[in-house]
Amino acid sequence: MARVSDAVGSIGVELTPDVPADAVGSLAADAERAGFDRVFVSAHYNNRDPFLALSRAAAATETIRLGPGIVNPYETHPVTLASRMATLAEQSDGRALFGLGAGDVSTLGALGIERERPLRRVLETTRVARALWNGERVDHDGTFRAVDAALDYDVSPPPVYVGAQGPDMLRMSATHADGVLVNAAHPDDLAAAATRIDDGLADRAPERGALDTVAFAGVSVDRDADAARRAARPPVAFVTAGAPREILDRHGLDPDRAATIGDALSAGAYDDAFAAVSPAMIDAFCIAGDPADVEARLRSALEHVDSVVAAAPLGPDRSTAIDLLGTVFERVRAP
């Protein structure tokens, strides 16, 4: 698998804006002090606006790279997304990362949005955004339309990191993106993803450069392993609901139970969805436990990818989890 020499061992953290934007900025500053290289802010309509939170994060930090993790081109028009990313790049002095994906089926369904042709939509968004950032005027008629669209300011183009889990999205990302955020925590899933990514690299144009492969892995750490696993239930519910049948089968997970969780999420019955999460689902879709447990799993993950983002929930207490993870990652990256 292709590697990016200056990104090997890069570590990131996902922050959920279920707290005020200023609090997200403070957590981003904590992450920078703890030695993290990247901050992604999750994007869900029921939380605060990710770009407002990223604005606070940019103001509160100096060196860490930051971006949405992950926005989709259904809720927001792709041209508007490109402009918001360009604004973030400007405000952060070129530290922006464009975390782009097809969106969560359950969440989009709750908004009455049908996720049509997701792979094509993400690819077209990537191409249109790059054209706009390069100062071009864009006419586009595909999964969305744009007529003589342009940005009226200079842009520092951010790298595009595509969130992917299914085989086709993984292959497409490897061919066309700057990085791929592999939505997986288990080494078996990361190994399978690496095979699909290698398939896509065979068609990658040389001018695209090397690909940064990142495990965008749910992590929940606490000195109390049981508390860490309880905190993992909400994000595991969302991952389970959107997991392809192939991945459910790989881990021996009941597809009917996964569908029940998805139905509950779509209906806004979050407590029911979280209660239906099984221990096996936590093991499959999250790195959860005490620092020693998490360290062992992170070492396994880095056998298959260049970098890791510790995604939600982080732990029962995010500030404590960021400090614990900073220490864990320091050991993992030590020669």
DSSP 7-38: TTT-EEEEE--SS-HHHHHHHHHHHHHTT-SE
- Clarify whether residues 246 and 111 are in a common domain: no
Q: Output the pTM of the full model.
A: 0.91
Cα–Cα distance for residue pair 66/87, rounded to 1 Å? 13
Please work out, in degrees rounded to the nearest 5, the angle formed at the alpha carbon of residue 316 by the alpha carbons of 314 and 319. Answer: 65
Using a pLDDT cut of 90, give the percent of the chain over it. Answer: 86
Q: What CATH number is given to the structural domain containing 100?
A: 3.20.20.30
Domain residue limits at 183: 11-225+288-333
- Clarify whether residues 50 and 92 are in a common domain: yes
> 6 lies in a domain?
no
> 2 lies in a domain?
no
Is the pLDDT reported for residue 25 higher than 70?
yes
- Clarify whether residues 218 and 278 are in a common domain: no
pLDDT bracket for residue 2 (50, 70, 90): very low
- Clarify whether residues 271 and 323 are in a common domain: no
User: What is the per-residue pLDDT for 19?
Assistant: 97
The structural domain count of the chain equals 2
Which residue in this structure is represented by tokens 């086709």?
168
Cα–Cα distance for residue pair 72/80, rounded to 1 Å? 11
- Clarify whether residues 203 and 238 are in a common domain: no
Q: What is the pLDDT of residues 310-322, one digit of tens each?
A: 999 999 999 999 9
Structure tokens at 104: 């969560």
Cα–Cα distance for residue pair 17/23, rounded to 1 Å? 8
Cα–Cα distance for residue pair 139/27, rounded to 1 Å? 40
Q: What is the pLDDT of residues 177-186, one digit of tens each?
A: 999 999 899 9
> 3 lies in a domain?
no
3-state secondary structure of 269: coil
Residue/partner pairs of 132-136 with CB below 8 Å, 24 or more apart: 132/79, 132/82, 132/83, 132/86, 133/82, 133/86, 133/157, 133/158
- Clarify whether residues 25 and 167 are in a common domain: yes
Q: What is the pLDDT of residues 119-155, one digit of tens each?
A: 999 999 999 999 999 999 999 999 999 999 999 999 9
> 46 lies in a domain?
yes
- Clarify whether residues 195 and 243 are in a common domain: no
- Clarify whether residues 163 and 186 are in a common domain: yes
Contacts of 241 (CB under 8 A, 6+ apart): 104, 105, 106, 258, 259, 261, 262, 265, 273
- Clarify whether residues 271 and 170 are in a common domain: no
> 4 lies in a domain?
no
- Clarify whether residues 146 and 173 are in a common domain: yes
> 109 lies in a domain?
yes
> 305 lies in a domain?
yes
- Clarify whether residues 268 and 183 are in a common domain: no
> 1 lies in a domain?
no
What's the Rg (C-alpha) of the chain? 19
Residue 169: how many CA atoms within 13 Å on its side-chain side?
21
Structure tokens at 324: 């614990």
- Clarify whether residues 107 and 151 are in a common domain: yes
